[in-house]
Structures are given as structure tokens and as C-alpha cells.
């Protein structure tokens, strides 16, 4: 018997095998236990891994439970942003694979006139969201004696609300959204001082910062199913963007619309306060953290 017709070598030992000999279905079963970035890495090994790494059965479990709802919002946003300049919208081709849907949802999707964005974090697929200060009700925002809008690259929305001085601080907003089931944390992203560039370097003007050490600022969160959270902080850390933790909430039904209300206020009128940048409200899966995030908890 020739060596080409048998897997046994001349010494009657089993012939060598490789990862490429694994059935694609077995490879897919292995990939189910990996995180999305790891799946993409092993796809480079060989044809079997490349095929399994694109299989819908592998990516179905990585997508949020309500991915169809999120994908529909993403498709609508893509269509709105793909006009021809004359007001005519060119519909985007639908994404046919679950891997493609996952990749699309990892990119930010703007909604509500571009004042809000959501995305899924690529490692675990948890939903994240950012809400611009322009989507919030801010007492006195139209009075230039108190507030102004600053253009900045330090915000994902390229604009922040800057408080020069005021007696009554009140910022609040609402959101209706179908969150995937899970636990979430809500933060206000704030900055004491006015940052700008000088000679190519970032500098922070602190001359208008005052009043934040006299009384704590109160933050509140409530949901349509009567979850509530309250926290208080003395604002500090001039020159740095800080995420102040307001509270957590739990979503049990991915297909149910949840209404959120969130606010921050410092309404002690015995003193003025100023020198504050209000960028956004951020929502992350509970426990989510990145190295460059400066988070403050009670």
C-alpha cells in the first residue's frame, strides 16, 4: 500500500494531522467559548478557522438579545447619513451576516438628531451610550451671561456646555430606549475649568472655578419601573474629565421600552458657582471600565 493511500506511515504510526484537518463544526464549537476579538484572531490560522469564525451560529450568542432593534436604528442612521446632497437618501444594503451586524453595532450609531449615540463594546458586546448636553434641559442655557457652548475635540459630540457663573444649577434629561437585559451604570461626564490649546499644548483656565466646595452637587436617576438612585459629590479635579457615578439600574426585558430620567443640581442660592463644563451623560454595562476612564463613586 502506497504512502499516498494511507494515513499510516512506514513505521505503522498514525500520520501527522494539523488544525486544518478539524471539521468546521468542531472549530465553531470551540469558538463559541471565545470573545469576539479572540475569534477574529484565530480566524487567521487556516481555512477551517476562517470559515467557522464567520459562521452565524458563532456570532448569534455574541449579539445583544435585541440586536434586531439596535440594527434597525443603525440602518436608519446609515440611510440618513448617505444622502446625495440634494435631500435624496440612498438606502444602504442590509447586512446579511451576524458577524457583519456585530461589527456594525460596534461603531457608534447617532440618533435623536445626533444628540445621542449608542454602540456595543467589542470585547463582550455590552451596550454603551452617550447623551450630549445639547439633549438636556439646562436652566439658563440661553442666557450668555451664564452659559456658552464650546467647540472642543475632547467631546465625542464636539461641543460642551460651559458654565461661567450661576446661582441655581439644574441639568436634566430623559431617554426612552430598549436596552438589552442586564445591569447598567449611569454617569455624568464633567470637567472643572476651561481647556484649550496654547502653542500646541493643552492648558486649562481655572480662574472661574468657584462654589463647588461649599455644598455637594446632587445627582439623581429614576426609571419607568420605579428604580431610583441618588448620589452627592463635591466636584473636584480641575483640568480632568471625570465620570461621576449617579447610580445603577437593571433591565429584565430586552423588548420593553424603558424610560430614564437623570439630573444634577446644586440649588443652594447662598453662593454662586462656575467654571464647569458639562459634556454628556454616559451609560455603560455595570462594572465596565477602561484604563483612561476617571470614574468617581460614592
Q: Tens digits of per-residue pLDDT, 206-250?
A: 999 999 999 999 999 999 999 999 999 999 999 999 999 999 999
Contacts 24+ apart (CB under 8 A), 237-241: 237/192, 237/294, 238/192, 238/193, 238/204, 238/206, 238/209, 238/275, 239/191, 239/192, 239/193, 239/195, 239/204, 239/206, 240/191, 240/294, 241/154, 241/189, 241/190, 241/191, 241/279, 241/294
> What does the pLDDT read at residue 177?
98
Top pLDDT among 268 and 2 is at 268
2.60.120.10, 2.60.120.260, 3.40.50.300, 1.10.540.10: CATH of 127-296: 2.60.120.260
Could you read off the pLDDT of 21-55 as tens digits, one per residue? 666 678 778 888 888 888 888 888 778 778 888 88
Confidence class for position 201, pLDDT limits 50, 70, 90: confident
Q: Which helix (H) or strand (E) holds 95?
A: none
Q: Are 231 and 249 in contact (CB under 8 A)?
A: no
pLDDT digits (tens, 9 = 90+) for 127-172: 999 999 999 999 999 999 999 999 999 999 999 999 999 999 999 9
The three-point CA angle 109-112-114 to 5° equals: 55
For the chain, the domains span: 127-296
CA distance 103 to 43: 15
pLDDT value for 1: 43
**Distance between CA 204 and CA 194 in Å, rounded?**
5
This prediction's pTM: 0.86
pLDDT of residue 213: 93
Amino acid at each position: 500500500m502506497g504512502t499516498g493511500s494511507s494515513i499510516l506511515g512506514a513505521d505503522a504510526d498514525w500520520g501527522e494531522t494539523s488544525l486544518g484537518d478539524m471539521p468546521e463544526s468542531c472549530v465553531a464549537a470551540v469558538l463559541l467559548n471565545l470573545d469576539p476579538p479572540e475569534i477574529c484572531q484565530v480566524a487567521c490560522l487556516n481555512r477551517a478557522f476562517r470559515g467557522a469564525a464567520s459562521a452565524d451560529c458563532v456570532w448569534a450568542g455574541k449579539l445583544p438579545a435585541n440586536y434586531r432593534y439596535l440594527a434597525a436604528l443603525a440602518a436608519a442612521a446609515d440611510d440618513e447619513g448617505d444622502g446625495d446632497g440634494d435631500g435624496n437618501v440612498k438606502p444602504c444594503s442590509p447586512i446579511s451576516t451576524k458577524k457583519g451586524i456585530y461589527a456594525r453595532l460596534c461603531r457608534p450609531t447617532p440618533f435623536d438628531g445626533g444628540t445621542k449615540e449608542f454602540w456595543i463594546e467589542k470585547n463582550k458586546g455590552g451596550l454603551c451610550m452617550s447623551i450630549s448636553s445639547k439633549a438636556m434641559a439646562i436652566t439658563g442655557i440661553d442666557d450668555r451671561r451664564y452659559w456658552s457652548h464650546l467647540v472642543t475635540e475632547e467631546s465625542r459630540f464636539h461641543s460642551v456646555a460651559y458654565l461661567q457663573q450661576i446661582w441655581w444649577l439644574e441639568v436634566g434629561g430623559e431617554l426612552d430606549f430598549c436596552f438589552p437585559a442586564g445591569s447598567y451604570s449611569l454617569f455624568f461626564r464633567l470637567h472643572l475649568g476651561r481647556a484649550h490649546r496654547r502653542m500646541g499644548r493643552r492648558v486649562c483656565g481655572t480662574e472661574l472655578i468657584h462654589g463647588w466646595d461649599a455644598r455637594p452637587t446632587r445627582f439623581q436617576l429614576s426609571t419607568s419601573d420605579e428604580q431610583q438612585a441618588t448620589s452627592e459629590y463635591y466636584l473636584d479635579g480641575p483640568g480632568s474629565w471625570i465620570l461621576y457615578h449617579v447610580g445603577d439600574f437593571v433591565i429584565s426585558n430586552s423588548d420593553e421600552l424603558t424610560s430614564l430620567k437623570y439630573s444634577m443640581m446644586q440649588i443652594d442660592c447662598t453662593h454662586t458657582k462656575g467654571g464647569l463644563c458639562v459634556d454628556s451623560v454616559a451609560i455603560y454595562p455595570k462594572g465596565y471600565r477602561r484604563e483612561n476612564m476617571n470614574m468617581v463613586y460614592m
